[in-house]
Amino acid sequence: MEILTTTLTKNVSCIKTDKQSRSLGDLLCLLFEPFFSNGSYGYRPGRSAQQAIRKVKTYAGQGYGHAVEIDLSKYFDTLNQSFF
């Protein structure tokens, strides 16, 4: 019975943590979304890689000759996690 109780407690804790993470993520999106460039597509609600490619093609049709892709995901690994 103790093992079952421990397992249920851990599962409930994981669910609570997951809900809290999603709530925090939703809040951060509301706060910071207005500050992102309209040309930014990565990990943004309602935007996809296909939309980004279509936008690049539109810019190319307008005469632009360069597109820049930046992946900041590894940058966050360099931050001091204890600070957060």
Q: Does residue 20 fall inside a structural domain?
A: yes
The answer to whether residues 41 and 55 touch, using CB atoms and an 8 Å cutoff, is yes
Domain co-membership, 43 together with 70: yes
Kindly tell me if the per-residue pLDDT of 15 is higher than 80: no
Domain co-membership, 2 together with 27: yes
pLDDT (tens digit per residue) in 19-37: 666 788 888 888 988 998 8
The answer to whether residues 47 and 41 touch, using CB atoms and an 8 Å cutoff, is yes
Higher pLDDT, 8 or 44: 44
Distance CA 68, CA 37 (A): 13
pLDDT (tens digit per residue) in 42-58: 878 889 989 999 999 99
Domain count, the chain: 2
Could you give the 3-state DSSP secondary structure of residue 61?
Answer: helix
- Which range marks the domain in which residue 63 is found? 38-74
Could you give the 3-state DSSP secondary structure of residue 63?
Answer: coil
Query: Considering the chain, what is the average pLDDT of its residues?
Result: 78
